[in-house]
Structure 1
Amino acid sequence: MRIVDVCAFYSPNGGGVKTYVEHKLRAGPLQGHDIVILVPGSEPRTEHYGPGARIEYIVGRRFPLDGRYHYFHDEFALHAMLDALKPDWVEASTPWSSASMVANWRGTAPRSLIMHADPLGNYAYRWFRNIASRQTIDRGFDWFWRRLKRFDGAFDHIICASDDLSTRLRFGGLKNVVINRMGVQPNIFSPRRRSRDLRRTMLECLDLPDDALLLFGGGRHAPEKRWPMIIDAVTAAGYHRPVGLIIAGEGRARRQVERAVGNNPHIRLIPPITDRREFAAILASADALVHGSESETFCMIAAEAQASGIPMLLPDCGAAADHLIEGAGLHFEAANAASLARAIGQFIDLGRARQAVVARDAAPRTRTMDAHFQDLFTLYHARQTVKVESRPRESLPYCTVAGALA
């Protein structure tokens, strides 16, 4: 089967999408599939990753909010590339313009919309959570729900990686929702990568003693990640206990994150860690992961923390919440710094050593990316081997909202 992934938010510089894409390029050929990742770039070119695996770039415009990315802007060119590739299955990865282009393509191949993005969670719910209920916000964004329902008629599957997102979509009236949780890269994350020396070095960088609590966070410096909220909570907790935090990441909101850190010597911002094994060692050597976003579609770093055998402090809603292991960390009220500060204190009072044992015991049960792709390709194979009456696909308008170009 030739699977073409129309991947709007891919950057060769790294990130969760790149990790996902690279594993798909390995997993597909091993199961007999030809994988083509179709991405927008500054110029047309091809990157080969071995037999049956490649990335095809077509010309796109630079994304105005982040210069590392481009977006699909030429529907005719995208359709011409799909015609040339002759896919057996087509995927779209965001519910914006690229998904409309895939839905409008006149080819006969079945297609899936994989919800790697949650615009309502990232924007609407975050912007208005303090002044309106979720039901009221949904009514205000009815235009987006109408868009999702049109996608539901145009795509064979709407694939979600978490219970939270799939439940919301089904409650909103979508019929073709399928859950397929993602997973971690196998043979990289493990409690065995924990290093006392590395932990001690990190604490020394934070000007803290060996008995301090070492928290780790990773991800883009973007408003939805809520780094200032996390920093405020860690700072508040640090007035009563020795607590340090290392955040690995970069992004357009870095200035706000830096302002939140201020002169706190116990919080350190570091660049993204591109070496996966080095990252795995740092993650496993922390005492706990702290994560602030309640709008993740899966929360890869929480899964990686689970595989690394460390406890977690996670918001009480969204996909991140699903990763908490009972007895190995705590939930806190989403977007509430005071709640997170209390959770940090409670985490210490409950005993770090006991919670670490529970986390290490749970680590081998972490779902892997291999399992995710096995289930994904099985889903596609089942659809192709069963005769299904072809459904008319509704033509969808091109979305020109500035922040929704991908």
Structure 2
Amino acid sequence: MRIVDICAFYAPQGGGVKTYVRHKMLAGPARRHEVIILAPAAQAHVEYFGDHGRIEYVPGRRFPLDGRYHYFHDEAALHARLDALRPDLVEASTPWGSASMVANWRGDVPRSLIMHADPLGNYAYRWFRSLASREQIDRGFDWFWRHLRRLDARFDHIVCASDELATRLANGGLRHVVTNRMGVQPGIFSPRHRDPDLRRRLLQWCDLDEDALLLLGAGRHAPEKRWPMIIEAVTACGFDRPVGLIIAGDGRARASVQRAAADNPHVRLMAPVSDRHAFASLLASADALVHGSESETFCMIAAEARASGIPMFLPDGGAAADHLVPGAGHHYRAADASSLAAAIRLFLMQGPAGHLAHARAVATDTRTMDAHFADLFTLYEGTRRSLPLAA
């Protein structure tokens, strides 16, 4: 079948969505499906992936909050391109305007909304969590819930990568919710990539000896990632025991992250690591991953850390929480620096070596993207067979 993905938040410099899309370009043809990505960009051009996959960049407007991204603004042009491509199934990748454009298209084919974004978690719940309960926030944002229910009525699937998001959407009245957990790129992340010399050099960069604890964070510099909160917690722990923190990433909140790290010589910021094998070595060489966002739809970095065999400190909300291996790290109260600091202190008191050994023992159980796409394409194939025209 020909699958066309209206991928509003794809960019060549992107992170998790880019990783996901590029693996889809390999997984689709392996099951004899043609995959075409339509992504907004400054200028129109095409990037080919073999004979059965391509990314078509269509002119879009620059996204004001992050200059790496653009967004679809011309619904008629998007519909004309779908008419020309004649897909067997259409995907939308965010619940914003592009999903409405896909819903409005007159083509008679199945449609699937992949929830790569959780606007309520990223914004509403984060902004107002100290002022109101989640139920009160949902009532205040009923206009968005009505929007989601309208999309649900016009899409065959609302695909979520975590039980938490799927349950929340179902409780909000959506009827076509499907849970299909994503996964890591196979063959890249492994405990075998742990490099004691790299770990020693990273601790030296943090002005610490190799008996210190090395924590790693990775991801966009954005408010929802809560890097200043993480730095505050690590700094508090550093008064008791030597703890170093490396944060790999960049983004629109760079200045606030730099300010938070400025007074701690044991916290270092580095650019994103685009080489996947180099990043796998970096991840496996840390003593633990620390993550701050409670609004992830899947949390790719936590899945990669699990496959790399390192313990994790994860918030107790959102999809990130699902990745914790009991005995290989700890949950902490989301958005609470004192809770995170207490979790790190407990980890140090228990002994990192035991946590690390357990994390390494279960690393091979991590779900891969191959399994995710096998399940996704099976869902699509079944949907297509159920249509009268499929006969």
Report the TM-score range of the alignment, normalised by the length of the smaller protein. over 0.9
Specify the alignment match of 1:158 in structure 2: 158
Say yes or no: does 1:192 pair with 2:192: yes
Where does 1:246-257 land on structure 2 (aligned, <5 Å)? 246-257=246-257
Deviations 1:276-319 (A, max 9, x none): 00000000000000000000000000000000000000001110
Deviation at 1:206, TM superposition (A): 0.4
Where do 5+ consecutive residues of structure 2 fail to align?
none
Q: Quote how far apart the aligned CAs of 1:389 are.
A: 10
1:91-240 correspondence runs (5 A): 91-240=91-240
Question: Which SS does the other structure have where 2:265 is aligned?
Answer: coil
Match of 1:241 in 2: 241
Matched with 1:20 is 20
Q: CA deviation at 1:87?
A: 0.3
Count of equivalent residues: 390
Deviations 1:47-99 (A, max 9, x none): 11111010011111111111111100000000000001100000000000000
**Residue number in structure 2 paired with 1:271:** 271
| Counterpart secondary structure, 2:326 | coil
Aligned amino acid, residue 197 of structure 1: D
Partner of 2:301: 301
Aligned partners of 1:135 and 1:8: how far apart in 2? 29
Task: Look up the SS of the partner of 2:264 in the other structure.
Answer: coil
Distance 1:359 1:348 in 2: 16
Match in the other structure for 2:57: 57
CA distance in 2, matches of 1:112, 1:263: 47
1:321–1:389 Cα change, 3 Å: farther
Structure 2: how far apart are the matches of 1:12 and 1:317? 29
Q: How much is the aligned-residue C-alpha RMSD, in angstroms?
A: 1.1
Contact 2:250 2:271 survives alignment (8 Å): yes
Partner SS for 1:340: helix
Q: Does the 8 A contact of 2:310 with 2:328 survive in 1?
A: yes
- Counterpart CA distance in 1 for 2:127 and 2:233 is 20
Q: Distance in 1 between matches of 2:312 and 2:389?
A: 46
Cα distance between partner residues in 2 of 1:154 and 1:179: 18
1:78 is aligned to 78
Q: Which amino acid aligns with 1:43?
A: Q
Which runs of no fewer than 5 residues in structure 1 stay unpaired? 391-406
Q: Is the 8 A contact 1:313 1:332 kept in 2?
A: yes
Give yes or no for contact 1:14–1:274 (8 Å, CA) kept in 2.
no
In the TM superposition, residue 386 of structure 1 has moved relative to its aligned partner by 2.0
Alignment-mate amino acid for residue 103 of structure 1: A
* RCO comparison, higher one (Cα < 8 Å, 6+): 1
Distance 1:381 1:199 in 2: 46
> Displacement, 1:387?
3.8
* Cα offsets for 1:103-149 (capped at 9, x unmatched): 00000110000000000000000000011000000000000000000
* Segment drifting more, 98-107 vs 36-45: 36-45
Distance (whole Å) between structure 1 residues aligned to residue 57 and residue 387 of structure 2 = 33
Give the counterpart letter for 1:116 in structure 2.
Answer: H
The residue number in structure 1 matching 2:346 is: 346
Distance of 1:47 and 1:130 partners within structure 2: 45
Following superposition, the deviation at residue 16 of structure 1 comes to 1.1
SS in 2 for 1:37: strand
Structure 1: distance between partners of 2:378 and 2:121: 29
Structure 2 Cα separation of the partners of residues 317 and 48 of structure 1 = 38
The AA in structure 2 aligned to 1:185 is: Q
Aligned to 1:312: 312
Does the CA contact (< 8 Å) of 1:316 and 1:331 recur in 2?
A: yes
SS in 1 for 2:47: strand
TM-score (norm 2): 0.99
Deviation per residue, 1:1-36 (Å, 9 max, x gap) = 000000000111231111111100011111100000
Contact kept, 8 Å, 2:313 with 2:331, in 1: the verdict is yes
Letter in 2 for 1:345: R
SS at match of 1:175: coil
Amino acid aligned to 1:329: G
Q: Aligned-pair distance for 1:388?
A: 6.7
Identity score, percent: 69
From the superposition, tell whether residues 389 and 29 of structure 1 become closer, same or farther in structure 2 (CA, over 3 Å).
closer
